[in-house]
Amino acid sequence: MTRHLYHVIAAMLLAALLALAGCAQAGKSEKLREAGPPEDTVFQVSTINALLQGLYDGEVTCGELKKHGDLGVGTFDGLDGEMVVVDGIILQVKADGKVLPAPDGEKTPFAAVTFFSSDRTQQVKELADYSHLQRLLDGLIANRNMFYAIRIDGTFPYVKTRSVPEQAKPYPPLAEVTKNQPVFEMRNVRGSVVGFYCPPYIEGLNVPGYHLHFVTEDRRQGGHLLECSLQEGTLQMDQTRGFYMTLPAGSDFAKADLTTGRTEELKKAES
């Protein structure tokens, strides 16, 4: 075999090996894309600052969202009500107070979900109000720089929630929408509080601190949690290290100014 022919064959073998490696890597990347983020991850659609500015057009379907979590909170296309994700079911609390299962084709402009697997379970009794609940949670959060998914199932002497009505374009800012938010009061109900604690540095992306929603056990009432008292219940928490966010592809998001702090707007919208 001449030296020239040897070099030609060697080059062909090297090219073949590189092509095989590339195919294997492409296949691996495709499988990772199909699998999505790992289970111990908060999967989030868009940013809270985008929502505050009125970016309410849905980006991700509920069917897709369920592939990334079975517990969470969010809202719907056109800001049409509050989202409560519990036991893998996405529920829509409408502005008239009705609770409906969300179709897989319904879209969300903002949501956060995770596959809930409790790291800590504690029996809880006699919490007088929401501030007492927050203080209890504060004492259980060992690492304030981590995310925590939260679920509380129990008997609630009093619950106060809100929802938001569907909006028409041009969309007003969220703080304007919540000025006239429908508020619901429930007494002596069993139900579930679900949501997240997000660390302080997440400001602008999600709600720092607690963002909790509520739904009754019979799935007939619920909404964004404003106030509550708890007679007895089971508190579960899931420390979550991963955070994965998908961003809107539309021109409205491309033009949005997401550099401005909106702490006061967020307080108005959340209260």
CATH code, domain carrying 157 = 3.30.1330.80
Q: What is the pLDDT of residues 15-48, one digit of tens each?
A: 444 444 444 444 443 443 455 556 689 999 999 9
Is 189 part of any domain? yes
Is 179 part of any domain? yes
Domain that holds residue 212: 41-270
| 121 φψ region: left (φ > 0), alpha (ψ -120 to 50), beta (else) | beta
Query: What is the b/e burial string over 102-141, where b = at least 16 CB atoms within 10 angstroms of the residue's CB?
Result: beeebbbbbbbbbbbeeeeeeebeebeebeebeeebeeeb
Parts of the chain with a pLDDT under 50: 5-6, 8-11, 13-33
Is 241 part of any domain? yes
Q: Are strands 71-75 and 222-240 parallel, antiparallel or unpaired?
A: unpaired
Is 9 part of any domain? no
Is 11 part of any domain? no
- Rounded (10°) CA dihedral 9, 10, 15, 18: 150
Cβ atoms of residues 196 and 213 within 8 Å:
no
Residues contacting 136, CB < 8 A, separation 6+: 124, 127, 235
Q: Provide the token pair at 228.
A: 């509550």
CA 212 remoteness from chain centre:
10
Asked whether the whole model's pTM tops 0.75, one would answer yes
Is 34 part of any domain? no
| 223 φψ region: left (φ > 0), alpha (ψ -120 to 50), beta (else) | left
Per-residue confidence (pLDDT) for residue 188, from 0 to 100: 98
Rounded CA-CA distance 176/28 in Å is 46
Rounded CA-CA distance 71/153 in Å is 13
Number of domains the chain is built from: 1
Is 60 part of any domain? yes
Is 23 part of any domain? no
H or E element at residue 265? helix 263-270
